[in-house]
Amino acid sequence: MDDLFGELLDPVLNNPVVNLVSNLCVLFFVVLSVALIFWTWRDAERRGAMPWFWALVVLLFNIFGWMVYMVVRPPEYTDDVHERELEIKAKEAEILRNGQTCPACFKPVEKDYLICPSCMKKLRKECVNCNRALNLDWTVCPFCKTKQ
């Protein structure tokens, strides 16, 4: 029975086209494996995710290791996180430099606004004597010395 299968498969397995296709498949698999390891290393490095560890995982488990990395990798590049943090700090500095914001809706307001024009939140109270804007917790107007 074994000789029968050997006689049937021998011409197919010894065919030069089958040998070429199988060698090309092995070469493709090796190139794909090296490319996955290299890509995983570079991606993990850009994301700050232990590149040597993930490259080793892909080396040992190949496509399955790469799929695990794709699931658990950090969602952002470290450069993008750093850039976003800088933008937030710049916006905060601009807000502090240019004026105040409403504590309720965070829209820009002027120092002498009594209410926020966007959300109508009371920001300050008006002096009973000189009608200037005062902080809500002040009991005396610093401009005209009138008790509130």
- Enter the tokens of residue 70: 């794709």
Q: How far is 133 from 137, CA to CA, in rounded Å?
A: 12
Q: Write out pLDDT tens, residues 27-44.
A: 999 999 999 999 999 999
Structure tokens at 4: 């029968």
Q: Rounded to an integer, what distance in angstroms lies between the CA atom of residue 130 and that of residue 145?
A: 10
Helix orientation angle between 51-72 and 16-47, rounded to the nearest 10 degrees:
90
* Mean residue pLDDT across the chain: 92
Q: Tell me what percent of the residues of the chain surpass a pLDDT of 90.
A: 72
Q: Answer yes or no: pTM beyond 0.85.
A: no
Report how far residue 74's alpha carbon sits from residue 82's, in angstroms, rounded to the nearest whole number.
14
What does the pLDDT look like over 58-112, one tens digit per residue?
Answer: 999 999 999 999 999 999 999 999 999 999 999 888 777 777 888 898 888 888 8
Contact (Cβ atoms closer than 8 angstroms) between residue 132 and residue 118? no
Whole-number percent of the chain with pLDDT over 70 = 99
